[in-house]
Amino acid sequence: MEAQLVEHDEQETRFAIGDVSKICSVPAHTIRFWEREFDGFLSPQRTTGKQRRYTDSDIRQILKIKKLLWTDRFSIQGAKRMMGAGPILTFAQAQETVEIPDTNELALGIAQFIREQLTAKTA
Protein backbone atom coordinates (compact mmCIF):
# COMPACT_ATOMS: atom_id res chain seq x y z
CA MET A 1 0.00 0.00 0.00
CA GLU A 2 1.53 3.25 -1.10
CA ALA A 3 0.30 6.06 1.17
CA GLN A 4 0.27 9.63 -0.04
CA LEU A 5 2.06 11.46 2.76
CA VAL A 6 1.98 15.17 3.42
CA GLU A 7 4.54 16.78 5.72
CA HIS A 8 3.55 19.84 7.76
CA ASP A 9 5.58 22.41 9.63
CA GLU A 10 5.32 20.47 12.89
CA GLN A 11 7.01 17.49 11.15
CA GLU A 12 4.04 15.21 11.76
CA THR A 13 3.09 12.88 8.92
CA ARG A 14 -0.51 13.25 7.73
CA PHE A 15 -2.51 10.90 5.54
CA ALA A 16 -5.19 11.55 2.91
CA ILE A 17 -8.67 10.10 3.50
CA GLY A 18 -8.22 7.41 0.82
CA ASP A 19 -5.12 6.13 2.55
CA VAL A 20 -6.80 6.19 5.96
CA SER A 21 -9.71 4.28 4.45
CA LYS A 22 -7.32 1.55 3.32
CA ILE A 23 -5.35 1.52 6.58
CA CYS A 24 -8.48 1.20 8.73
CA SER A 25 -10.59 -0.88 6.30
CA VAL A 26 -13.39 1.67 6.60
CA PRO A 27 -15.02 3.34 3.58
CA ALA A 28 -14.15 7.02 3.13
CA HIS A 29 -17.83 8.03 3.30
CA THR A 30 -18.10 6.28 6.68
CA ILE A 31 -15.06 8.16 8.00
CA ARG A 32 -16.64 11.46 6.88
CA PHE A 33 -19.90 10.47 8.62
CA TRP A 34 -18.01 9.61 11.82
CA GLU A 35 -16.32 13.03 11.71
CA ARG A 36 -19.76 14.64 11.92
CA GLU A 37 -21.06 12.24 14.57
CA PHE A 38 -17.93 12.17 16.72
CA ASP A 39 -17.12 15.89 16.51
CA GLY A 40 -14.57 16.62 19.19
CA PHE A 41 -13.14 13.10 19.08
CA LEU A 42 -12.26 13.10 15.39
CA SER A 43 -11.23 16.36 13.75
CA PRO A 44 -8.63 16.03 10.99
CA GLN A 45 -6.72 19.07 9.81
CA ARG A 46 -7.57 20.50 6.41
CA THR A 47 -5.26 21.79 3.72
CA THR A 48 -5.78 25.17 2.08
CA GLY A 49 -7.60 23.20 -0.63
CA LYS A 50 -10.03 21.84 2.03
CA GLN A 51 -8.68 18.28 1.81
CA ARG A 52 -8.64 16.25 5.02
CA ARG A 53 -5.31 15.20 6.49
CA TYR A 54 -5.21 12.63 9.29
CA THR A 55 -2.51 12.16 11.92
CA ASP A 56 -1.60 8.90 13.65
CA SER A 57 -3.79 10.06 16.54
CA ASP A 58 -6.76 10.55 14.18
CA ILE A 59 -6.23 7.05 12.79
CA ARG A 60 -6.20 5.61 16.33
CA GLN A 61 -9.50 7.41 17.03
CA ILE A 62 -11.03 5.94 13.86
CA LEU A 63 -9.92 2.47 14.91
CA LYS A 64 -11.44 3.01 18.39
CA ILE A 65 -14.73 4.12 16.85
CA LYS A 66 -14.67 1.16 14.47
CA LYS A 67 -14.11 -1.26 17.35
CA LEU A 68 -16.91 0.23 19.43
CA LEU A 69 -19.44 0.29 16.58
CA TRP A 70 -18.55 -2.76 14.52
CA THR A 71 -16.99 -5.18 17.01
CA ASP A 72 -18.52 -4.28 20.37
CA ARG A 73 -21.84 -3.34 18.68
CA PHE A 74 -22.39 -0.08 20.58
CA SER A 75 -24.86 2.47 19.24
CA ILE A 76 -23.39 5.81 18.16
CA GLN A 77 -24.56 7.36 21.44
CA GLY A 78 -23.05 4.49 23.43
CA ALA A 79 -19.78 4.77 21.52
CA LYS A 80 -19.67 8.52 22.22
CA ARG A 81 -20.11 7.82 25.92
CA MET A 82 -17.36 5.21 25.80
CA MET A 83 -15.05 7.57 23.92
CA GLY A 84 -15.57 10.16 26.64
CA ALA A 85 -14.84 7.58 29.33
CA GLY A 86 -11.16 7.39 28.43
CA PRO A 87 -9.54 4.20 27.16
CA ILE A 88 -11.78 1.74 25.34
CA LEU A 89 -13.33 -0.78 27.66
CA THR A 90 -14.61 -4.22 26.79
CA PHE A 91 -18.34 -4.79 27.18
CA ALA A 92 -17.72 -6.65 30.45
CA GLN A 93 -15.60 -3.76 31.77
CA ALA A 94 -18.27 -1.27 30.70
CA GLN A 95 -20.90 -3.24 32.62
CA GLU A 96 -18.73 -3.04 35.71
CA THR A 97 -18.43 0.75 35.43
CA VAL A 98 -22.19 1.27 35.02
CA GLU A 99 -24.30 0.65 38.08
CA ILE A 100 -27.07 -1.71 37.02
CA PRO A 101 -29.84 -2.09 39.59
CA ASP A 102 -30.83 -5.53 40.78
CA THR A 103 -33.68 -6.88 38.59
CA ASN A 104 -35.95 -7.53 41.59
CA GLU A 105 -35.26 -4.05 42.95
CA LEU A 106 -36.05 -2.54 39.58
CA ALA A 107 -39.28 -4.56 39.24
CA LEU A 108 -40.37 -3.52 42.74
CA GLY A 109 -39.67 0.11 41.91
CA ILE A 110 -41.76 -0.10 38.74
CA ALA A 111 -44.59 -1.85 40.57
CA GLN A 112 -44.57 0.84 43.27
CA PHE A 113 -44.67 3.58 40.64
CA ILE A 114 -47.64 1.95 38.89
CA ARG A 115 -49.50 1.57 42.22
CA GLU A 116 -48.91 5.25 42.99
CA GLN A 117 -50.16 6.28 39.55
CA LEU A 118 -53.29 4.13 39.86
CA THR A 119 -53.99 5.41 43.38
CA ALA A 120 -53.61 9.01 42.20
CA LYS A 121 -56.09 8.44 39.34
CA THR A 122 -58.74 6.83 41.55
CA ALA A 123 -58.52 9.50 44.26
At residue 56, the pLDDT reads 86
Half-sphere exposure of 49 (CA within 13 A, CB side): 3
- In degrees rounded to 5, what are phi and psi of residue 20? -65, -40
Neighbours of 76 (CB within 10 A): 14
At residue 107, the pLDDT reads 63
Do the beta carbons of residue 65 and residue 34 sit within 8 Å? Answer: yes
Q: pTM to 2 decimals? A: 0.62
Residues of the chain with pLDDT under 50: 1-8, 98, 100-101
